[in-house]
Amino acid sequence: MFAPVYLDHNATTPLDPRVLEGMLPYLREQYGNASSRHEYGRAARRAIDEARQRVAYAVGAHPTEVVFTSGGSEANNLFVKGAAACLKPGVVAISAIEHPCVREPAKALRRAGWTLREIAVDENCRVASANFQAVLEEKPALVSVMLANNETGVVQDIAALAAQVKPIRAWFHTDAVQAFGRRPVDFRALSGAGVHALTLSAHKLGGPKGAGALVVDKRVELQPLIAGGGHERGLRSGTENVAAIVGFGLAAELAVARLDQNGRGLAGLRAELEAGLVAQGATIFGAGAERLPNTSYFACPGIDGETLVGKLDRAGFAVAAGAACSSANPEPSHVLLAMGIPSSLARGAVRVSLGPDSTAAQVGDFLAALTTTILQLRGLTALTS
């Protein structure tokens, strides 16, 4: 019997069995509150401290710079809203391809008197240099540009961008959720270039959902989103989710250990995948830029992406029509529109994101199913036209 094939790792990843094993004690016998003064509480606090060290080491940060949150969305909101609350209203600049959890809080700042500027990207999803310089001339106080795009997988040269921002003394943030675990992320090196904060999430690298972090330079002043008991240096109150944080630490450590091996293997699989896609007449979005090795975002002319994803799902292949968080939105991807892709082609977008357990056989089976499905859909279109 054919086993379903999961090819949507940019949406979420399966929980690594080793991570689950490490979490289980904190869901069973080690159930203490990390703020309690007895041994149960001290054990929980030690576990959180160890996880913080693991996450910090994985991205070249100091443990005191790691603020645990419920995930990437909260961490991005904490930076955008939290930093803005400590500054006079000015200009906030974000790239036109940011995830909604950066776009929406940035838009919300307008109600507090901020001016929002979106930084344009080129046809390959890279920040457009001339437009970036034009935005910097307005001297923004906050800048956020993601390290790797969740849809196209395109990687930005964050160090170079931050170096250009540095002279105007703006706080610079990068959403590294998709990049972490798929390419090296070095906060110390980025900090030297002018990056002040970056966002991470556990469930993108074999960890549990419900755990993320904002890695932030201690010179940055933030107002917390959640007030209460003063947890996480007063930046994120609330009893810590010990099991999820422990899982995050383990997942970060494991992901960094297998980074090179996974990267080489996934890049090879993607090359096989995209050779087959091109043979189908597909357009590969962002193919002219550096991308995450696991991500391929494509469209076949005349084929609706949502329809194709549904047909492939019934054939046993889990892929995505863009970002999982925007799956209920019928509009074309804002990322593709920002790249200048026509709406007619953008509506056909499908994302395949490979994982460490993906195989050449699965890629071959997917391409065979895709060929059959496209022929069926084009046949139906011909009959009804």
Residues belonging to the active site: 325
Bridge partners of 92, per DSSP, are 116, 142
User: What are the structure tokens assigned to 253, written together?
Assistant: 């450590």
Angle at 64 between CA 60 and CA 65, to 5 degrees: 55
Contact status, residue 173 vs residue 199, Cβ threshold 8 Å = yes
Bridge partners of 155, per DSSP, are 148
**What's the CA gap between 187 and 61, in Å, rounded?**
6
**What's the CA gap between 327 and 65, in Å, rounded?**
33
Contact status, residue 174 vs residue 151, Cβ threshold 8 Å = no
User: What are the structure tokens assigned to 181, written together?
Assistant: 């675990």
User: What are the structure tokens assigned to 160, written together?
Assistant: 């170079």
Centroid of chain to Cα 148: 7
Q: Which of 308, 242, 297, 275 is nearest to 35 (CA)?
A: 242
Q: At what angle do helices 129-136 and 158-165 cross, to 10 degrees?
A: 30
Q: Return the SS3 of 20.
A: helix
Backbone phi and psi for residue 217, each to the nearest 5 degrees, phi listed first: -60, 130
Bridge partners of 346, per DSSP, are none
Angle at 163 between CA 204 and CA 339, to 5 degrees: 55
Alpha-carbon torsion (258, 263, 268, 274), positive or negative: positive
State the amino acid at position 198 in one-letter form.
Answer: L
Burial class (CB in 10 A: 0-12, 13-18, 19+), 82: buried
Q: What share of the chain is helix, strand, coil (3-state, %, to 5)?
A: 45, 15, 40
